[in-house]
Structure 1
Amino acid sequence: MKNYRLFLLDLDGTIYRGKETIASGVRFVRRLNAAGKDYIFLTNNTTRTPQMVVDKLQQHGIETDIQHVYTPSMATASYLLGENPHQKIGVYIIGEIGLWSELLQHPEIELNEKNPDYVIVGMDTDLTYNKIKIACNAIRNGATFIGTNADMNLPSADEWLPGNGSQCTMIAASTGQSPLYIGKPEAVIVEMALAKFGYQKNETLLVGDNYDTDIKAGFNSQVDQLLVFTGITSKKDIKEKRQPTFAVASLDEFPL
């Protein structure tokens, strides 16, 4: 087995399930700390700031800091700045505090509802028809359409909620323009995270419970994957599919 130096860790379904702690996930993080391994919590959630992620992890018994968190909001900001060096970037944002605070902390990125360069769409539980209308008009007028992630549904307690992918699909259907997605399973967020933290793909392992987001992000970015069956994907779900590098029932089973 490779001596992995960096572990990209999913959250919901891997470390916790909603308000329920996954004890083996918490123990895994503690084992990483004891072994001197670096890790980043790589989430698709844009509704929380990095500090809010840290606070939630603390509720599940994990002490960490914002230097160990990477979100699609952060990757989106890096993408915009990289594509438009030394320029002002006008954006129209659909989303919540995690997305707004991350984008607008950069002085190069400014709100522009009338003629934005980009329409950025993240999960918004207060989504309105008017927000969709403004986004669609901007995209028709030439704005680049970016979706922070393509999750069609989100698990919540004992139900499924429409995710950001559902919001983006509505806008795409109206405008005829498909978004550029940043979050998992796209390679963009993985490559941005590795560039930010200074690691190579061949020394990194992506850990998660969702085959269609976490594991496919590993496939797409050519980073090894560890699928854990404590969340969305079960062993039978992947029987006829491309297999991850590793698969375990519990993270307690994976040696460091």
Structure 2
Amino acid sequence: MVKGIISDMDGVIYRGKQLVPGAKDFVQRLHDSKTPFLFLTNNAEQTPLDLKLKLASLGIDGLTEGNFITAAMATATFLKNQNQKQHATAYVVGGGGLMSELYNVGFSISESNPDYVVVAKCSTLSYEQLKKAVRFIDHGAKFIGTNPDMIDPVEGGLEPAAGTILAAISAATGKKPYIVGKPNSLMMMLAARKLGAHPEDCVMIGDRMDTDIVGGMEAGMKTILVLSGVTTPELMTEFPYKPDYVFNTVGDIDLANL
């Protein structure tokens, strides 16, 4: 039996404000089997507490903040380890979750010659924010993205995500961001370390071939693709790699046979 389960959330556990069928039973089986697990999400808008409360509102109880790693957490950890300045600053295009994680590692949020421009999905994005981000990068700020996802699955369809904003800023500046979240295997390594397991003893569950599956594969993990998010069976065949397992939803996963 695997020693750790690492699962995406959007499109795997829920779509927007609706629970994916079978997700509640899957999480209960994780608890019952005492399988260590983490929810690993490219969502940088919300804090672990926000995500815990969201899942509780959907009927999934028994979780703690320690059951989550977000792209905001991974980005803050990366910048803390990379930064050499005592009082580093960042301009943020993103939500409160990202700002909170940056504050936690000692960064100040600034619009005065920031050291970094850090970009995530932003539901309140304005043209003024885009102008400032472009100007700061042109003046030497380092360009960081929390994740490359172009779209997010929600109830009723899809909506633009962080990658869309990154593409606009990149087009305007001619510079590409360094992206910390999936598919960067850094996030997978952080998750495995938190579980106290080697990557080869972990399974990564996700709905995206270009982030979840390739990130887990490159980290040395087994991978499971679920078809409850953005990837269809037809789309899966377009990639030069494949997951170890494919299921319709997480409710179909038999932990004992992984």
TM over 0.5: yes
Task: Tell me the equivalent position of 1:236.
Answer: 234
What code does the residue aligned with 2:156 have? D
Query: What is the alpha-carbon root mean square deviation over aligned residues?
Result: 1.7
The answer as to whether partners of 1:43 and 1:72 remain within 8 angstroms in 2 is yes
Is the aligned partner of 1:92 residue 2:91?
yes
1:124-139 equivalences in 2 (<5 Å)? 124-139=122-137
In 1, the alpha carbon distance for the partners of 2:253 and 2:91 equals: 45
Task: Tell me the equivalent position of 2:75.
Answer: 76
1:204-219 equivalences in 2 (<5 Å)? 204-219=202-217
The answer as to whether partners of 1:248 and 1:254 remain within 8 angstroms in 2 is no
Q: Which runs of 4+ in 1 moved over 6 A?
A: none
The answer as to whether partners of 1:78 and 1:192 remain within 8 angstroms in 2 is no
Is the aligned partner of 1:194 residue 2:197?
no
- Residue among 163, 166, 178 paired with 1:165: 163
Give the CA deviation at 1:92.
0.9
- Residue among 182, 185, 192 paired with 2:183: 185
Distance 1:253 1:163, change over 3 A: closer
The answer as to whether partners of 2:5 and 2:204 remain within 8 angstroms in 1 is yes
- Residue among 203, 225, 228 paired with 1:227: 225
Give the CA deviation at 1:86.
7.1
Is the aligned partner of 1:58 residue 2:70?
no
What code does the residue aligned with 1:82 have? N
In 1, the alpha carbon distance for the partners of 2:222 and 2:103 equals: 33
Task: Tell me the equivalent position of 1:245.
Answer: 244
Secondary structure in 1 matching 2:182: coil
Give the CA deviation at 1:13.
1.7
The answer as to whether partners of 2:42 and 2:71 remain within 8 angstroms in 1 is yes
In 2, the alpha carbon distance for the partners of 1:112 and 1:97 equals: 14
In 2, the alpha carbon distance for the partners of 1:25 and 1:187 equals: 25
Q: Among the aligned pairs, what percent are the same residue?
A: 34
TM-score for both structures, normalised by structure 1: 0.92
Tell me whether 70-79 or 121-130 shows the greater mean CA deviation.
121-130
In 1, the alpha carbon distance for the partners of 2:249 and 2:71 equals: 26
Distance 1:42 1:211, change over 3 A: same
Tell me whether 207-216 or 234-243 shows the greater mean CA deviation.
234-243
Consecutive unaligned residues in structure 1, runs of 5 or more: none
Give the CA deviation at 1:188.
2.2
TM-score for both structures, normalised by structure 2: 0.91
In 2, the alpha carbon distance for the partners of 1:169 and 1:238 equals: 24
- Residue among 33, 36, 46 paired with 1:35: 33
**Residue by residue, what CA displacement relative to the aligned partner does 1:160-202 show, whole Å, maximum 9, x if unpaired?**
2221101011111111110011111221221232334433111
Consecutive unaligned residues in structure 2, runs of 5 or more: none
**Residue by residue, what CA displacement relative to the aligned partner does 1:39-91 show, whole Å, maximum 9, x if unpaired?**
11111111111111001111222120110010010001100111125732211
Secondary structure in 1 matching 2:255: coil
Tell me whether 45-54 or 128-137 shows the greater mean CA deviation.
128-137
What code does the residue aligned with 1:49 have? T
By relative contact order (CA 8 Å, sep 6+), the higher-ranking structure is 2
Task: Tell me the equivalent position of 2:13.
Answer: 15
Secondary structure in 2 matching 1:70: strand
Distance 1:198 1:84, change over 3 A: farther
Distance 1:114 1:85, change over 3 A: closer
